[in-house]
């Protein structure tokens, strides 16, 4: 119905200190005539970014997001965060068409039970997609951006380091390319199994491969491992999506002469020693930073965010990533959700909050 949006109390999740979260009751902001009120159905935790905030490992001088209007400001406690909310429009302002009522929508919003926003900040969810699938839209857009930045070539050998949600989505998109081989690494068995279910050629624990590289370097005997791992510097294209800076050394060791490494991880304040004095110096390997907030300059004349979102929606229909949801928590149990991701990440892939 149109008219003045009634004020309601919402519950919003705040990160208040390292490893502490709090659900706060607060009044909704006063809406305008062009706004709608959305009741959240579910929101997805971004395990990479949100765990950096939960653990207090974020850079204090960095803006939370220069593009997403709901995430402006710096990283400092207390901070409301999250950017994957799906809900139903329950009231509309005077200037909003009544067709928005009851529409299932996605918005880049922190974890909260309700939010008021302009329809310009909403993405209608396609009719054939359930709410939980739509929660994957930001990560799917990221995966599309990563693949576009990489520009895979027919017959290439491709490696993806990290099989969290972004890594799995990236591998699933790459599976549609005519590659010679597609291989993934991850520390956790459940994620390697999910990767193999996509149809990748192999999926390995990174420590296993590191030992094989050491053995190869020192001429020690190789065990029965896939032929592509007999020697270092094998892959034409490598994606570093593990969230671990030390994985850059694995990427360098496994990428071929003049190959490309797409760095999609955000490391926060994590530091490590990167070996640029060995094979990297003569390898002509390209290190390419990829981040979803912008369109690559080489594509910006033909692509914009709207076009990329259309591709992401279609990819969600095809891949159906809700099969990777391992845990659902009511938002009132947020502390348990983050403790699980912090202390037992090997049990998880995607964790979401549900809202009654």
For the segment 277-316, what is each residue's pLDDT rounded down to a tens digit?
Answer: 777 888 899 999 999 999 999 999 999 999 999 999 999 9
| pLDDT score, position 233 | 59
Average pLDDT over residues 192-211: 89
| pLDDT score, position 245 | 87
For the segment 218-233, what is each residue's pLDDT rounded down to a tens digit?
Answer: 455 444 445 445 444 5
Question: Is 8 or 348 the better-scoring residue by pLDDT?
Answer: 348
pLDDT at 165 over 90: yes
| pLDDT score, position 355 | 85
Average pLDDT over residues 330-349: 97
* Helix (H), strand (E) counts: the chain: 10, 15
pLDDT at 276 over 60: yes
Q: How far is CA 263 from the centre of its chain?
A: 13
Question: Is 97 or 76 the better-scoring residue by pLDDT?
Answer: 97
Look-up of token digits 């050998």: 157
Picking from 93-102, 126-135, 208-217, which range would have the lowest pLDDT averaged per residue? 208-217
**39: number of Cβ within 10 Å:** 16
Distance, in Å, from the CA atom of 75 to the CA atom of 71, rounded to the nearest integer, reads 10
For the segment 252-263, what is each residue's pLDDT rounded down to a tens digit?
Answer: 989 999 999 999
pLDDT at 4 over 60: no
For the segment 42-90, what is each residue's pLDDT rounded down to a tens digit?
Answer: 999 999 899 999 999 887 555 545 554 544 456 789 999 999 999 999 9
pLDDT at 30 over 80: no
pLDDT at 206 over 80: yes
* Domain boundary assignment for the chain: 9-135+320-354, 139-289
The average confidence (pLDDT) of the chain is 88
Q: What is the DSSP letter of 63?
A: B
| pLDDT score, position 212 | 61
| pLDDT score, position 216 | 52
Per DSSP (E only), the strands in the chain are 9-17, 20-27, 35-44, 85-92, 104-107, 114-118, 123-124, 157-161, 181-185, 202-204, 235-240, 255-263, 286-289, 325-330, 350-354
For the chain, the C-alpha Rg in angstroms (whole number) is 21
pLDDT at 27 over 50: yes
Question: Is 96 or 266 the better-scoring residue by pLDDT?
Answer: 96
pLDDT at 211 over 70: no
Question: Which CATH class name applies to 139-289?
Answer: alpha beta
Residue 325 pairs with which residues in a beta bridge?
Answer: 350
For the segment 99-115, what is each residue's pLDDT rounded down to a tens digit?
Answer: 999 999 999 999 999 99
Question: Which CATH class name applies to 9-135+320-354?
Answer: alpha beta
């Amino acid at each position: 119905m149109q008219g003045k949006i009634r004020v309601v109390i919402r519950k919003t999740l705040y990160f208040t200190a390292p490893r502490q979260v709090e659900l706060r009751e607060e009044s909704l902001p006063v809406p305008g005539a062009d706004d709608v009120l959305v009741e959240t159905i579910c929101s997805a935790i971004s395990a990479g970014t949100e765990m950096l905030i939960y653990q207090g490992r974020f850079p204090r001088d960095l803006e939370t997001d220069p593009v997403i209007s709901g995430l402006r400001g710096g990283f400092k406690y207390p901070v409301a965060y999250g950017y994957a909310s799906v809900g139903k429009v329950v009231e509309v302002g005077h200037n909003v068409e009544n067709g928005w009522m009851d529409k299932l929508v996605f918005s880049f919003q922190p974890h909260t039970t309700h939010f008021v926003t302009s329809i310009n900040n909403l993405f209608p969810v396609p009719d054939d997609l359930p709410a939980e699938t739509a929660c994957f839209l930001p990560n799917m857009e990221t995966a599309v951006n990563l693949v576009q930045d990489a520009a895979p070539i027919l017959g290439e050998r491709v490696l993806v380091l990290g099989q969290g949600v972004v890594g799995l989505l990236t591998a699933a998109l790459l599976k549609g390319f005519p590659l010679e081989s597609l291989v993934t690494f991850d520390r956790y068995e459940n994620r390697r199994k999910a990767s193999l279910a996509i149809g990748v050629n192999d999926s390995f624990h990174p420590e296993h491969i590191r030992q094989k590289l050491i053995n190869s370097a020192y001429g020690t005997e190789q065990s029965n491992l896939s032929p592509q791992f007999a020697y270092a510097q094998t892959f034409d294209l490598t994606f570093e999506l593990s969230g671990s800076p030390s994985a850059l050394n694995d990427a360098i060791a496994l990428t071929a002469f003049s190959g490309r490494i797409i760095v999609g991880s955000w490391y926060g304040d994590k530091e490590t020693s990167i070996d640029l004095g060995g094979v990297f110096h003569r390898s002509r390997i390209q290190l390419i930073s990829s981040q979803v907030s912008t369109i690559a300059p080489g594509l910006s004349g033909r692509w914009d965010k709207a076009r990329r979102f259309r591709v992401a929606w279609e990819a969600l229909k095809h891949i159906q990533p809700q099969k990777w949801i391992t845990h659902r928590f009511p938002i009132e149990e947020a502390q348990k959700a983050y403790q699980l991701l912090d202390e037992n990440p090997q049990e998880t892939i995607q964790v979401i909050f549900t809202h009654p």
